Amino acid sequence: MQGQNPGMFTGSLVDQFIEHCWVAPFVEDDVAELAVHLPVERILFGSDWPHAEGLAEPKDFLGGLGSFSAHDRRRIMHDNASELTRPAR
Return per-residue pLDDT of the chain as tens, 89 residues.
556 777 777 888 889 899 999 999 988 899 999 999 999 999 999 888 888 778 889 899 999 999 999 999 999 999 999 999 988 77
Residue-range definition of the domain harbouring residue 73: 13-85
pTM: 0.84
pLDDT recorded at residue 9: 78
pLDDT at residue 37, as a whole number: 95
In a domain, residue 6? The reply is no
The angle subtended at Cα 79 by Cα 42 and Cα 88, nearest 5°, is: 85
Residue at 2 is within a domain: no
Residue 78 pLDDT: 96
| CA–centroid distance for 64 within its chain | 14
Q: Is residue 1 part of a domain?
A: no
In a domain, 49, yes or no: yes
